[in-house]
Structure 1
Amino acid sequence: MIHFVLLISRQGKVRLTKWYSPYSQKERSKVIRELSGIVINRGPKLCNFVEWKGLKVVYRRYAGLYFCMCIDEDDNELEGLDIIHHYVEILDRYFGSVCELDLIFNFHKAYYILDEIVIAGELQESSKRTVIRLMSAHDSLVEMAKEQASSISNMIAQVTK
C-alpha cells in the first residue's frame, strides 16, 4: 500500500502531497521536513530506497523535482519506482515535457492525474492512453462549462442594461 506521495523541489519546497494514510497536520509537517532532508541530501550514486520508521520511501529525481512515495516495508520497491515513472510519463505526455512550473500553476491537473492512477493507496490505472483520454474529456467538459458560464454572463449583462 502507498501511504503518501510527495513531490519536493531541490530547494526543499513541497510541490504536491497526497496522503492515503491518516496523519495529523503536525505529523504531516514533521514527515515532510524529515523526508525532504533525507532525500535531498542523499548522493546521486546511492540507491533510491530509504527505510524509514518501519516503512520504505522510494524516490526518483526528475530534473529539479524529487518524486517520493512511501510504501509498506514488504512491498516491492521496483513497483514503487515503476508507479513514479508511470506518473511522470503521463505528466510528460499531458503537459508536453513537464516542468516544475507546470505543477505549480496546474496543480489541480497533477492531482487529477494522480487520482486517476492511484486510488486509496493502490495502483488503479496502468494504461497511459486511458488516463490521457480521461484528462482530455475532463478538459473538454471544463471548456464547455466556461463557455456556458460566459454566455450566461453575456445574457445577464444584456438584460440588465
Structure 2
Amino acid sequence: MIKFVLLVNKQGQTRLSQYYEHTRIDERVNIEADIVRKCLARNEDQCSFMEYRNFKVVYRKYASLYFIIAIDNTENELSILEFIHNVVETYDRFFDSVCELDIMFNIDKAHMILDEMIINGEITETNKDRVLAPVAVLDRAAGHK
C-alpha cells in the first residue's frame, strides 16, 4: 500500500503531497523534512530506495522535481519506481513537459491526475488515456485548452 506521495523541488520545498492514511500535520512536517533531507543528500550513484521508520521510500528525480513515494513493506520497490515514471509521463502528456511551475499553478489538476491513478493507497489506473480523460473533460467544460 502507498502511504503518501510527495513532489519536492531541489531546495526541499514540497510542491504536492497526498497522504493515504491519517497522519497528524506536525508528524507530516517532521516526516517530510526528514525524508526530503535524506533524498537530497543522496548522490545519483546510490539506490533510489531506502528504509525509513516502518516503511520504505522510493524516489526518482526528474529535472528539478523529486517524486517520492512511501510504501509499506509488502510493496515491490521496482514496480513503484516504474509507477513514478508512469506518473511523470502522464503529467508530461497533460502539461506538455511538466515542470515545477505547472504543478504549482495547476495543483488541482495535478492532484486530480494523481487521484485518478491512486485510490486509498492502491494503484488503480496506469493507462494515460484513461487517467487524462476526466481531466480533459473538465478542462473543456471550463473553456481551457
Shared fold per TM-score greater than 0.5? yes
Cα deviation 1:2-50 (Å, max 9, x = unaligned): 0000111110111000000110011000011100100010011001001
1:77-156 map, 5 Å: 77-143=77-143
**Which position in structure 2 is the counterpart of 1:159?**
none
**Could you tell me how far apart the structure 1 residues matched to 2:22 and 2:137 are?**
32
**Could you tell me how far apart the structure 2 residues matched to 1:142 and 1:118 are?**
24
RMSD: 1.1
Q: Is 1:49 the equivalent of 2:35?
A: no
**Could you tell me how far apart the structure 2 residues matched to 1:104 and 1:130 are?**
23
**Could you tell me how far apart the structure 1 residues matched to 2:64 and 2:131 are?**
24
Which one scores higher on RCO, CA 8 angstroms, separation ≥ 6?
2
**Could you tell me how far apart the structure 1 residues matched to 2:99 and 2:72 are?**
29
Cα deviation 1:117-155 (Å, max 9, x = unaligned): 0010001112111112222112122239xxxxxxxxxxx
Higher helix share: 1
Whose Rg is larger? 1
Cα deviation 1:61-117 (Å, max 9, x = unaligned): 000010000001131001111111111100000010111110111111100000000
Q: TM-score, normalised to structure 1's length?
A: 0.87
**Which position in structure 1 is the counterpart of 2:72?**
72
Show structure 1 runs of 4+ deviating over 3 A: none
Point out where structure 1 has 5 or more consecutive residues left out of the alignment.
145-161
